[in-house]
């Protein structure tokens, strides 16, 4: 049975709120992932985006993390303090990531890549990513938000 992927092998890329370009995991040593409080009204419905029902078309305030080299047969779980941030599988705030939910990397929720979108509610926190191989071994990575 192959060894569980070390977190450094996952090929993590991040995208800050408002940014168009992805940056490498190595850049996190210089600057943490910027996720702003989503307190504007991108879809102009009269409600703050972080207080409106899903989805928000035209949403542009979410940060994002994607995993480029996690095997399809591995399972992935994302966790964050729900009082500080929310996680979604889509950039328009649809398909919320459920707490303690393990998903196979090849699950439809991930789409073509293993990307999770992060909505800031208030303050700072950490995103924890866990990858479990088919043998049940788990590796973890935390990213400061």
What secondary structure does DSSP assign to 59-115, as a single string? ----EEEEESS--TTSEEEEE--TTTEEEESSTTS-SBPPTT--EETT-GGGTTTEE
**Within a 13 Å sphere around the CA of 90, how many CA atoms are in the beta-carbon half?**
13
Q: Strand pairing partners for 13? A: 24, 66
The end-to-end CA distance of the chain, in Å, is 34
Domains of the chain: 7-144 (2.60.40.2410)
Given pLDDT bands bounded at 50, 70 and 90, which one contains residue 1?
Answer: very low
Q: What CA–CA distance (Å, rounded) separates 49 from 93? A: 9
Length of the chain in terms of residues written:
145
Q: Do residues 38 and 61 touch, judged by C-beta distance below 8 A?
A: yes
Output the pLDDT for position 117.
94
For 2, counting Cβ atoms within 10 Å of its Cβ (0-12 exposed, 13-18 middle, 19+ buried), the class is exposed
Nearest to 86 by CA among 47, 54, 131: 54
Q: Name the least confident of 10-14, 72-76, 88-92, 108-112.
A: 108-112
Prediction pTM value: 0.87
Mind listing the pLDDT tens digit for each residue in 41-82? 888 888 888 888 778 888 889 999 998 888 888 899 999 998
pLDDT at residue 114 greater than cutoff 70: yes
């Amino acid at each position: 049975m192959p060894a569980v992927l070390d977190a450094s092998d996952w090929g993590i890329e991040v995208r800050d709120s408002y940014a168009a370009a992805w940056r490498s995991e190595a850049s996190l040593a210089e600057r943490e992932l910027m996720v702003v409080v989503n307190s504007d009204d991108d879809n102009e419905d009269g409600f703050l985006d972080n207080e409106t029902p899903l989805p928000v078309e035209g949403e542009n305030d979410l940060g994002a993390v994607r995993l480029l080299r996690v095997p399809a047969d591995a399972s992935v779980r994302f966790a964050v303090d729900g009082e500080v941030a929310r996680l979604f599988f889509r950039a328009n705030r649809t398909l919320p990531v459920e707490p303690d939910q393990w998903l196979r990397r090849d699950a439809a929720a991930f789409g073509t890549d293993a990307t999770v979108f992060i909505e800031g509610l208030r303050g700072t926190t950490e995103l924890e990513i866990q990858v479990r191989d088919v043998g049940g071994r788990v590796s973890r990575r935390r990213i400061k938000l």
